[in-house]
Structures are given as structure tokens and as C-alpha cells.
Amino acid sequence: RLMRETECGAVKLESGEAMAETIAFLTARGIPVMAHIGLTPQAVNVFGGYKTQGQGNQDAARILNDAKEIEKAGAFSTVIEKVPDPLARNITSELEIPTIGIGASAACDGQVLVLEDMLGLAPRVPKFVKEYADMRSAVEGAVKAYARDVRARAFPAEEHTYPTLEEVPEALKKFNISVS
């Protein structure tokens, strides 16, 4: 039902081995699953904030295990977020499914960035983001100009409104509303 009503092509589940059973359940029913390992934003508070994951040997081994388990469970690919380059390279070489890096490594099979981050719209930009534009200033300027025009009643102007149709005054008469 989720796939049909949202017209999505897949679901993305954050976590690794802990979601393997769910991934297997969904994929067995024909629902494509993309996994997400390393830093998982919906669990950021569990990690104590937006901290790099997999820096110690034990944590790196856990994330590599997560990657292998989600592949075994049937995920068609995985996002790897905010892990050291060597770990992302290792995961990418160990898996047969594609890896998509976000703050991971150029060695991942693909890359993704949050649009607001890359366009310079986010107030907090992670180290791994390259800002390709500074849209923040342009957006702030546009919003300030809009607010100024609204306060001055300069917007909407006549060219931004619709003319009254002849039928409207007749229709309003039955409600005792007059239009001049």
C-alpha cells in the first residue's frame, strides 16, 4: 500500500544488523530496500550528535558487519554516512551492492548531498559538504523584499490579481453583498 499510494520506488531504512530481519521481510514481499549505515540522522541523539562513526576498531568492525548483514538481508544498496575514508573504501570493496557516500569516501559507488547544504541554504554545514552556491543571501534578500512589499501593500499589485467576472456581482446579490 505504501508503495502504491506514494508512488515511491523503494524505501530507505536506517540501521544495520538491527534492521536485517525487517529488510528481509520487506524484500521477500517485493519491496526494494536501500539501507543507511554509519551516522544515521534519525538516531543522531543516540550517537551524541553528528559525530563521525567508525573511528575506533570496534566501531568500524560493527559498521562493516552492519553492511554485510544488510546486503545478506536483501538491501539493493546502502548509504554510508560520515565514516572515515578507509572504512568506506573497505565496505565498498567488500559489498556487491552499490554504496552511496555522504561524508564517507570518493571510493563509494555514488555520492549524495542534501540540496539545502550544497546550495548554501543550511545554517549548519557539515565538513563533508561542498557548497556549490551561496543561495542563502539571495533567499534572505528575496524574503525581506517580499515582506517589505506586503507591509507597504505594494504586493499584490493589480498585475498580480484577477479581474472580477461579470457573473460575480450577480451571484453576490443573493448574499446581500455589493461590489463597486
Catalytic residues, which ones?
81
For residue 77, give the 3-state DSSP assignment. strand
Q: Of 70, 6, 80, 73, which is closest to residue 36 (Cα–Cα)? A: 80
If you ran DSSP here, which 8-state letter would residue 103 be given? S
Q: Is 10 left (phi over 0), alpha (psi -120 to 50) or beta?
A: beta
H helix intervals, the chain: 2-6, 20-28, 57-73, 85-94, 115-118, 135-151, 167-173
Grid coordinates given for 139:
533567499
Exposed e or buried b per residue across 87-118, where buried means at least 16 C-beta atoms within 10 angstroms of its C-beta = bbbbbbeebebebbbbbbbeebeeeebeeebb
Task: Please measure the distance between the N-terminal and C-terminal CA atoms of the chain and give it in whole angstroms.
Answer: 52
Which sign does the torsion angle of CA 137, 140, 131, 133 carry? negative
